[in-house]
């Protein structure tokens, strides 16, 4: 079975570098454009099943990616973005002393009040893979499945599929808006086929001050 894991398009909070988490912020016009471009690039891929986070930015991305195909989009709470609790909506630069641990030392990251830990995130996404994706791969090995999700949530899916731990959460290719990851799934046998590919030319202001927007938070540097 082929599994496509895709990040949502850009939102206004992405541009403003606000911690987004589970706040239901919609795509902006540029985000919709990215989703449409990505959908055109994948027009020859037949998706048998589409799953999405219930947050509107991921759901609309899935709608635009599959526009005109008549495919049902199923939502699942387990593939929502990580929750930042009281920090949601706050510009990340206001949390410079504590937030870098989110990327640089995931094992020691402690969420704000009401927020979610990496352990909690990884548990619910692991449950989704083991209860939905793996059984589907056994029942329909020739199917192609799409998951439309978020920056941290997608990484939690990917470290499971790559047999990695939380400490390796942000290793590898930087995951941009509407990037496409592809895995081959055969029961508990997982193989990465494509990592973080984008199908659009980035605008000149996509990178500003060496701060990279990742959709649901921001990250300093180029790791």
Catalytic residue among 8, 10, 116, 150: 8
* Rg of the chain over all Cα atoms, to the nearest angstrom: 16
Terminal-to-terminal C-alpha distance of the chain: 30
Is 16 in the active site?
A: no
Distance CA(11)–CA(27), nearest Å, equals: 4
Catalytic residue among 60, 81, 88, 116: 81
Is 8 in the active site?
A: yes
Distance CA(6)–CA(125), nearest Å, equals: 15
How far is CA 30 from its chain centroid? Answer: 17
Neighbours of 114 (CB within 10 A): 11
Residues annotated as catalytic (active site), given as ranges: 8, 81
């Amino acid at each position: 079975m082929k599994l496509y894991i895709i990040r949502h398009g850009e939102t206004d909070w992405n541009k403003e570098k606000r911690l987004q988490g589970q706040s239901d912020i919609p795509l902006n016009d540029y985000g919709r454009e990215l989703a449409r471009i990505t959908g055109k690039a994948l027009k020859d891929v037949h998706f048998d099943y589409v799953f999405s986070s219930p947050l509107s930015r991921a759901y609309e991305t899935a709608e635009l990616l599959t526009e005109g195909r008549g495919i049902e989009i199923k939502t699942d709470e387990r593939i929502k973005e990580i929750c930042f609790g009281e920090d949601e909506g706050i510009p990340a630069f206001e949390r410079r002393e504590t937030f870098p641990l989110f990327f640089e030392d995931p094992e020691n990251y402690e969420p704000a009040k009401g927020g979610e830990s990496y352990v909690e995130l990884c548990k619910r996404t692991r449950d989704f893979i083991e209860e939905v994706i793996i059984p589907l791969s056994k029942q329909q090995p020739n199917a192609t499945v799409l998951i439309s999700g978020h920056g941290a949530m997608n990484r939690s899916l990917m470290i499971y599929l790559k047999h990695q731990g939380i400490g390796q959460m942000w290793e590898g290719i930087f995951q941009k808006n509407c990037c496409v990851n592809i895995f081959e799934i055969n029961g508990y046998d997982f193989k990465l086929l494509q990592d973080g590919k984008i199908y659009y030319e980035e605008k000149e202001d996509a990178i500003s001050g060496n701060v990279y927007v990742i959709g649901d938070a921001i990250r300093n540097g180029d790791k």
